[in-house]
Amino acid sequence: MRILLSGYADTASIVSAINEEEIYKFIPKQWDDDELKVAIINALEKYYLNKKNQELTCALRIKNEELKSINDELERLVAEKTTKVNLLNEILAKVQNIGYAIPVGAFGIYRDGIIVQRKQEAEKILFENKTDYFGKHIEKKLTREVSEFVNSVSGREAISAEFDINGV
């Protein structure tokens, strides 16, 4: 930070010195001591503000680079997960198509006994063609006998049973 004190009266030389030498403040001869003190205080404040600004700009640049790296990694993970989800959706669609092609009544339940899937044949037999069973617990929509059977096979590999439901 430069402050020019001069008794030289040539304004062209002073302007040239200010522009070329990056002079912060020009104070002509016969200056006031208080004015000089204020100029020095202001120059120091400006210097420290510029220095702090440079430090913050550098820290911000580093943080932005870190955020970009994190964002790139998140985008990679999202793309990877999206690919997996798309693959699982394709597999699910194929399994459902196979399941619908087999002429037997079947329904799917989630671990907690909530009905999440059905085949039309099962709908006719088990639910009497009612459509308000999705998302409902099996004990509220199936006979006691079928509900008990489903609960008994939960977690087992394979088991079968026969039931007479509505004469079918």
Residue 20, token pair as written in the block: 């070329």
Express each pLDDT in 30-70 by its tens digit. 888 898 899 999 999 999 999 999 999 999 999 999 999 99
Write out pLDDT tens, residues 146-163: 888 888 877 666 667 777
Q: How far apart are the C-alpha atoms of 140 and 113, rounded to whole Å?
A: 10
Provide the whole-model pTM: 0.47
- Measured between alpha carbons, how far is 166 from 122 in angstroms, rounded to an integer? 12
